[in-house]
């Protein structure tokens, strides 16, 4: 991925965020509440840092994939699979490793959970929550992406396409939008939908530890970590051990994993459903 590719991807992602933000205004899932002053600005600052950091790592992954395909053809190339089949298979495998396994591990490991709390501590979920991600988490997920790329010799095109699909779907998942319940339920049988991911942001730990998927929902269903999407309409966002009143600055978000857990002054932010 060169500089032009990176700028193109960022432009597409920002455009997706803008469109999603407009849809949030038109058909919101929850009424927006002033849960934290300065929350949006802080989220957007971390978004800029996350996009830049992700771009650097994605460029590295693409170079590695391209180099491996030239120097040591992997199993996919040796099986003489058509390029389209290689890309589709690669996306499915990458989503399992990068999207599901890496994510679930962050919930299971106390150390990794401290890092992932940066994302889950947001008391309201909207398009600005998408890239409220700590750099350590980005590196962790990158490791889960590069391993299958190396083992299977995935084509570089597959890595680029997966990263872009993942980024766009992440924006849609977090957007405060109200899709048709029947359509969302139908789509969630295969795809990770907005309502499915909203359940994952619940302050109820049983719901938080479910719906780990990034693009495909089939892994949650097969591994029995799926929670029905209709629970999104009554979800309470945030963490019970994070202060929902005061928005942390960018430095405090970045230092959050390394500080003692702060006891919340009141419960996590609530949201009022829009009829």
Residues contacting 258, CB < 8 A, separation 6+ = 114
Q: What pLDDT does residue 272 have?
A: 46
Q: What pLDDT does residue 145 have?
A: 85
Which residues of the chain have a pLDDT value below 50? 264-270, 272-273, 275
Q: What pLDDT does residue 69 have?
A: 57
Tokens 């359509």 belong to 183
Q: Which helix (H) or strand (E) holds 64?
A: helix 39-71
pTM: 0.87
Q: What pLDDT does residue 154 have?
A: 84
Tokens 């084509």 belong to 155
Distance (Å) of CA 58 to CA 151, 159, 229: 17, 8, 31
Q: What pLDDT does residue 270 have?
A: 42
| Domains identified in the chain, total number | 1
CA-CA-CA-CA dihedral for 50, 55, 57, 60, to nearest 10: -170
Q: What pLDDT does residue 259 have?
A: 84
Q: Which helix (H) or strand (E) holds 272?
A: strand 272-273
Q: What pLDDT does residue 275 have?
A: 39
Q: What pLDDT does residue 268 have?
A: 38
pLDDT tens digit sequence for 137-183: 999 998 888 888 888 888 888 888 998 999 999 999 999 999 999 99
Domain that holds residue 199: 3-273
């Amino acid at each position: 991925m060169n500089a032009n590719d990176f700028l193109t991807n960022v432009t597409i992602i920002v455009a997706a965020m803008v469109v999603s933000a407009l849809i949030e205004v038109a058909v919101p899932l929850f009424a927006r509440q002033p849960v934290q002053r300065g929350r949006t600005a802080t989220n957007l600052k971390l978004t800029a840092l996350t996009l830049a950091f992700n771009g650097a790592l994605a460029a590295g992954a693409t170079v590695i994939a391209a180099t491996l395909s030239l120097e040591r053809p992997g199993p996919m190339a040796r099986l003489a699979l058509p390029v389209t089949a290689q890309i589709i298979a690669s996306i499915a495998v990458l989503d399992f490793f990068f999207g599901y396994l890496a994510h679930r591990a962050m919930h299971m490991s106390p150390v990794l959970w401290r890092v992932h709390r940066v994302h889950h501590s947001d008391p309201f979920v909207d398009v600005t929550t998408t890239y409220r991600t700590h750099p350590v988490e980005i590196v962790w997920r990158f490791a889960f992406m590069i391993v299958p790329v190396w083992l299977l010799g995935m084509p570089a095109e597959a890595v680029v396409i997966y990263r872009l699909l993942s980024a766009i779907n992440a924006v849609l998942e977090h957007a405060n939008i109200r899709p048709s319940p029947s359509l969302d339920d139908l789509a969630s049988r295969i795809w990770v939908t907005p309502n499915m991911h909203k359940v994952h942001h619940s302050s109820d730990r049983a719901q938080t530890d479910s719906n780990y998927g990034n693009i495909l929902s089939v892994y949650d269903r097969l591994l029995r970590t799926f929670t029905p999407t209709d629970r999104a309409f009554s979800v309470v966002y945030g963490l019970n051990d994070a202060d929902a009143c005061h928005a942390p600055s960018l430095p405090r978000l970045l230092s959050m994993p390394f500080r003692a857990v702060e006891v919340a002054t009141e419960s996590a932010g609530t949201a009022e459903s829009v009829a």
